[in-house]
Structure 1
Amino acid sequence: MKITIQKNSMNILFDLDGTLTDSFEGITKCIFHAMTQLGKPVPPPETLGRCIGPPLKKSFARLLDSQDDGLAEQALILYRERFASVGLFENRVYDHIPQVLGTLKGKGHNLYVATAKPEIYAKRIIRHFDLDKYFKHVYGSELDGTRTDKTTLIAHILDKESLSADESVMVGDREHDMVGAGNNGLPGLGVLWGYGTREALENSGAYACLDDPRELVDKISYI
């Protein structure tokens, strides 16, 4: 995707887990809770990073090594029991993120959250960490699984906010973010401080990969 026109204002869609906040502790502890409640073995915590970002029900199906949709759904319910009260706050904002968001907003860019996490939880997390002042709106999935797919979610945001794809960009740490962006005609900026790899991001069509949140300010100016 060749992009050469510098724009004064962009619509910037941010993933949440692995992009704005490091949610490893909360997510992995809630996965452990769900799996142990079901009497199932839990992989070592250090291997659970791959569950951060993708739709969680699919991750449970893989962890359970089962095609039983009801079992994966039960695991998701148990996960949410702990996450809704404790797990969502076992989380931290990545270094420099608040300053970068403030700078981008100050330059006239419109900021949105675009996460596969249920919107009801995403809004609580963004408020808890005092990030809501930077965003025009927080978008996520529904508890029934609607819009967990990033292609569908981004399309929903573009339609709901009447945004032009050529004036918008997706920022995220996973290949799902890059694929969703590309399927909607947006460039995707891959971030390397989260849970994806440069190889996966580039293979999924990332316009560029960034090592530090502070690189966003300059990179956004030339998309």
Structure 2
Amino acid sequence: MDAIYFDLDGTLTDPKLGITRSIQYALQKLDHHTIPTADELTWCIGPPLRASFVQLLGGDHAADRAVALYRERFSDIGLYENGVYDGISEVLTSLCASGHRLFVATSKAHVFADRIIDHFGLRSHFERVFGAELDGTRADKSHLLEYALKETSVDPAKTLMIGDRSHDMVGAKNNGMKGIGVLYGYGSRDELLEAGAHHICATPGAILGCIT
């Protein structure tokens, strides 16, 4: 493979605390009638944030306000309630040494994704970080990957998308890419296979065995 795109949340780093606490913060500020636990909010890790709030709030009437409140906490605190998965740095180092071009492709706003990549010392592995705009532009993984492929001038047939949720696999398939699903994040084996994953990896180290 010439180029490999990695999802961020649930693939490179485990963002559970930061994301779920920031969602809870937004719901509390909105005086929402019930505040889900962190475990009840793990389904929100990966998909576009606004769409998750629409589902949580039962409509889009307050979704934009919820996103703004979420970012109020996430931009200063939640961003760093996060950690790189064990083994990821070694995988990235090995792939770079083998001559692969590596990129990040996340539905998270790129202004936050860039800060996370820098904070955890991952910048040297990646040519570029692709993420959504703050207004939601390119939050959809299919649109994001279409844009990223054009920007990097790579052949989709020689490109991989690695991620933990169905959105990553669907985005890959819609752009003529192969998808590798990882199970150490927040998606299930069934979710990933049904979305078109070509390989499933239980650990970061297993990724290397799926790349030629």
TM-score category by the smaller chain?
A: over 0.9
1:10 matched to 2:2: yes
- Give distance in 2, aligned partners of 1:111 and 1:163: 11
Query: Could you say which residue in structure 1 is the equivalent of 2:48?
Result: 55
Figure out how many residues of one structure are paired with residues of the other and give that number.
211
Following TM superposition, by how much is the alpha carbon of 1:11 offset from its aligned partner in structure 2, in angstroms? 0.2
- Give distance in 2, aligned partners of 1:163 and 1:122: 22
- Give distance in 2, aligned partners of 1:220 and 1:10: 10
Query: Could you say which residue in structure 1 is the equivalent of 2:57?
Result: 64
- SS at the partner of 1:76? helix
Percent identity of paired positions between Structure 1 and Structure 2 = 48
Following TM superposition, by how much is the alpha carbon of 1:121 offset from its aligned partner in structure 2, in angstroms? 0.3
Following TM superposition, by how much is the alpha carbon of 1:132 offset from its aligned partner in structure 2, in angstroms? 0.4
**Which residue identity does 2:204 align to in structure 1?**
P
Query: Could you say which residue in structure 1 is the equivalent of 2:75?
Result: 84
- Point out where structure 1 has 5 or more consecutive residues left out of the alignment: 1-8
Alignment of structure 1 residues 71-220 onto 2, 5 Å: 71-220=62-211
- SS at the partner of 1:130? coil
Query: Could you say which residue in structure 2 is the equivalent of 1:33?
Result: 25
The superposition leaves residues 161-185 of structure 1 with CA deviations (integer Å, 9 ceiling, x where unpaired) of 1110011000000000000000000
Following TM superposition, by how much is the alpha carbon of 1:217 offset from its aligned partner in structure 2, in angstroms? 1.3
- SS at the partner of 1:214? helix
**Which residue identity does 2:23 align to in structure 1?**
I
The superposition leaves residues 76-129 of structure 1 with CA deviations (integer Å, 9 ceiling, x where unpaired) of 000000101110000000000001000000000000000000000000000000
Q: Which residue of 18, 22, 27 maps to 2:14?
A: 22
- Point out where structure 2 has 5 or more consecutive residues left out of the alignment: none
- Give distance in 1, aligned partners of 2:210 and 2:60: 42
Following TM superposition, by how much is the alpha carbon of 1:65 offset from its aligned partner in structure 2, in angstroms? 1.3
- SS at the partner of 1:114? strand
- Give distance in 2, aligned partners of 1:23 and 1:50: 12
For the aligned residues, what is the CA RMSD? 0.7
Following TM superposition, by how much is the alpha carbon of 1:10 offset from its aligned partner in structure 2, in angstroms? 2.2
- Give distance in 1, aligned partners of 2:60 and 2:41: 20
- SS at the partner of 2:204? coil
- Give distance in 1, aligned partners of 2:170 and 2:44: 17
Following TM superposition, by how much is the alpha carbon of 1:67 offset from its aligned partner in structure 2, in angstroms? 3.6
Moved over 6 A (4+): none
- SS at the partner of 2:107? strand
